[in-house]
Structure 1
């Protein structure tokens, strides 16, 4: 898949060009044997970012990001007798992300992150009770340089290229457990509870942050924080699933999921002042950051018509230190989101016509500190869509987003977007067709 786009950023006076190429490979081995349900997925993506134009601070910046990944897994099922069933899921994954910029790399430091892991999960089913236990081993490695010296400065020869500073690498690993208990007292109702550990290692961009938009590419090593620790999350997920057929009409389907989550995160990574050095960089927040909320998803499908809804209400105790909104775009997610999708099917369900409502709650964009944050109002958008399966090989479709052409400011869009309100995309019409041969 190839993608090429370019647009002009009026506030900075430069053209932004994006060119990406993505290659994927998927393979499945499913011979019908309960011991084998294997899958292999691999991908490689190259993204070129070019800032061109006749003026502006960012003109001349160029960067290349390469990402390669592979994931392999298999599921084996065993009948243990006496109503006991055992399912084993196991595999391994690898991904590497590498970014290289030119001498005007600015606040986008070079670096390579490699992550690898192995995972296994066992599920035991007995009547209406299911127990699931899993372990995941993750290893990470990040390498880069602390900064660059300008030609003619220090020990860097004049007339040449930037001289790289100290090469630094960091790595670590962790085993994360997961356990789930589920009970299905009725054919159409399942209750579940999950306790799990997860973690996120610091990225190369966070470890080797050069200290703002230094447009000569030199950077300042004192703004690095190569001792950042990975974020560690420990949390609960409680909820219920409903799957009921024939609720009102023959052949209709009701699906509903209601869940509550509560996660405590240690070493949450934020942008702020390093108390050890006094410099502004990426740091681990003190204490524990809590994220909790409720999620609801539901669908009723009667064939000729359907309705789908989703709602999220979340509360994040996001730590916002001084300078959180200087040099980096830091915003708070809205507390609530909602989507309602209603549609109908015609002519043997070959034609679909529908409408969608999208609601996004209030949020804010941080500037300097929490007291100077920019409030962003809630907004509701309406869409229309439709499709026509002319035959098994030809499919036509259309989509009209923001049909009322509403003016709004997108949540967590960045400081510049929040300052110049009304940046949300207006009415957008997409018409297309797909053909299979």
Structure 2
């Protein structure tokens, strides 16, 4: 009998087999650092001013009642405090190509940032304009992606992903010690794990066309924990955990060369636990094991919901390059960990069980694309679409209703309101002849509505928002558009262009019967319509080196960004120069 060779390493065989399977390895390492001080507001536009016209003669003296007229507390050309930030990013990434069409991708991303921030409410209520201590955030992201896609097998295009994020944030967005003592959140650590597996299978049904079937599952879990020392359940940082998983499938069928049908459905289920105990009074229906003093066992809030969302679309191509389509899609957004835990600014009520947002989107449109339309080598693209988006059980913040338990002790409540709806038209177009190019896009909203049945409301539905709700500053302008025009010179090494942004106003809030929307808590930010122009230039020295120059807000316009959450003007005229080196 042969005796084994004890001197030969057993791992050699495995190493040789792996080397035979290994085809190629791509490695990427990147580091980026960005730093910006406080920028300056523009000098031209509707800047605020001090009105001293209201005066009263008191005999021995004149009493003046000054009033700031305008959208913000910042003057034209003023340096905007807390607009500073600094960040560092590090990326390590590898992609491994194995035999038999196997691929494995591994990556690590580190992000560190410090930035200035002031709570919008301090600007609105207290008129405070001061630099705060910088906030901080650090995020580590780990990702692995696997794919198996053998070219000779139409039944397999397998993908599997596994990822993890670990984030630590310290938010210092207040400038008053009273706020710090009352609502000290300290730092929060947010950790999240997730995985998903999916596969695509193709079938050829001869004269009935081809079918592509996609199916899979996804799962994620997340935890948050704060180290603040404030005593109330709504302060000291959030603490809780949440799980969500889903099953999905979709099919694409081309019964005829000019027709494409898509259908699918996703089932989602979630559960969330608030790890902060709630105090419950003896007269509450949630009181358990009250003692002689009427003290009940603390309540630990939990939420569990599930549901399905379908999708269906049809596309017809009557001639090459011309597509006509219709699409109906539903989506469920389960309540987030922020929305289902107690903390500063808002908490869910103990007798309100949050439901997922249920969105129904309807869209019809037409697209046209053709090369060499008017001259050889040109490219023309155009699209027009009409959409109707309706979200039932929209999640947002409101005031408590009088009939809800604990309404007298809670200032804000996170809840599902009845609905939010947006209807409108989108236009897109581009034309490229090589040396010259242009792009146009625009959106017009024809219908905006927010609906909520609650206390102190005269109208259930309005077009301008809801008292104390985050939705007030998410209502889009009535219209907005953008345009780009440019040229390529010196054999397309140099690209020059200009970009215009045209922003209309949102629907105004009435002076009367505003349902409390303008009372100061998340009131609409009164940004004006504006037009800004940017210039850009890119010079490609060779395949490794390129230089980019951008001049933003060329006319030094004073304006607030549309959908802004705070009374802070956007940057005035600014220039950026960057160099890219590929090696």
User: 1:377/1:435 Cα in 2 relative to 1: closer, same or farther (>3 Å)?
Assistant: same
The one of 193, 203, 206 equivalent to 2:336 is: 203
Q: Which has the higher strand share?
A: 1
Superposition pairs for residues 35-54 of structure 1, below 5 Å? 35-51=155-171
The reply on whether 1:316 has 2:462 as its aligned counterpart is: no
Superposition pairs for residues 276-315 of structure 1, below 5 Å? 276-277=404-405, 278=407, 279=410, 280-286=412-418, 288-314=419-445, 315=447
Which residue does the alignment assign to 2:55? none
Which residue does the alignment assign to 2:269? 139
TM-superposed deviation, 1:407: 1.0
The one of 208, 219, 243 equivalent to 1:114 is: 243
Instruction: Report which stretch shifted further, 261-270 or 370-379.
Output: 370-379
TM-superposed deviation, 1:30: 3.9
TM-superposed deviation, 1:268: 1.8
Q: Distance between the aligned counterparts of 1:327 and 1:359, measured in 2?
A: 27
SS of the aligned residue for 1:167 comes to: coil
TM-superposed deviation, 1:362: 1.5
Which residue does the alignment assign to 1:153? none
Superposition pairs for residues 136-215 of structure 1, below 5 Å? 136-147=266-277, 166-210=299-343, 212=345
The one of 394, 406, 415 equivalent to 2:557 is: 406
The reply on whether 1:81 has 2:206 as its aligned counterpart is: yes
The one of 343, 347, 358 equivalent to 1:232 is: 358
The one of 250, 253, 261 equivalent to 2:376 is: 250
Q: Which runs of 5+ in 1 are unaligned?
A: 150-163, 214-220
Instruction: Report which stretch shifted further, 223-232 or 333-342.
Output: 223-232
User: 1:201/1:349 Cα in 2 relative to 1: closer, same or farther (>3 Å)?
Assistant: same
- What number of residue pairs does the alignment pair up? 410
Larger radius of gyration: 2
Which residue does the alignment assign to 1:160? none
Alignment check: 8 A CA contact 1:210 1:223 kept: no
SS of the aligned residue for 1:255 comes to: strand
User: 1:387/1:325 Cα in 2 relative to 1: closer, same or farther (>3 Å)?
Assistant: farther
Which residue does the alignment assign to 2:572? 426
TM-superposed deviation, 1:165: 5.1
Alignment check: 8 A CA contact 2:188 2:238 kept: no
- 1:208-250 residue CA offsets vs partner (Å, 9 max, x unmatched): 344638xxxxxxx884565111111223111112111111221
User: 1:107/1:351 Cα in 2 relative to 1: closer, same or farther (>3 Å)?
Assistant: farther
Q: Which runs of 5+ in 2 are unaligned?
A: 1-108, 119-128, 280-296, 458-465
Q: Distance between the aligned counterparts of 1:60 and 1:84, measured in 2?
A: 59
Alignment check: 8 A CA contact 2:339 2:414 kept: yes
TM-superposed deviation, 1:128: 1.1
Alignment check: 8 A CA contact 1:116 1:138 kept: yes
Instruction: Report which stretch shifted further, 261-270 or 191-200.
Output: 261-270
RMSD, aligned α-carbons: 3.2
Alignment check: 8 A CA contact 1:223 1:281 kept: yes
SS of the aligned residue for 1:182 comes to: strand
The one of 516, 520, 535 equivalent to 1:369 is: 516
Q: Distance between the aligned counterparts of 2:168 and 2:386, measured in 1?
A: 40
User: 1:398/1:241 Cα in 2 relative to 1: closer, same or farther (>3 Å)?
Assistant: same
The one of 500, 525, 530 equivalent to 1:379 is: 530
Q: Distance between the aligned counterparts of 1:107 and 1:316, measured in 2?
A: 37
User: 1:432/1:305 Cα in 2 relative to 1: closer, same or farther (>3 Å)?
Assistant: same
Alignment check: 8 A CA contact 2:301 2:350 kept: no
User: 1:397/1:30 Cα in 2 relative to 1: closer, same or farther (>3 Å)?
Assistant: farther
TM-superposed deviation, 1:427: 2.6
Q: TM-score w.r.t. structure 2 length? A: 0.63
Q: Distance between the aligned counterparts of 1:225 and 1:202, measured in 2?
A: 16
Alignment check: 8 A CA contact 1:25 1:41 kept: yes
TM-superposed deviation, 1:184: 0.8
TM-superposed deviation, 1:266: 1.9
TM-superposed deviation, 1:134: 0.8
Q: TM-score w.r.t. structure 1 length? A: 0.82
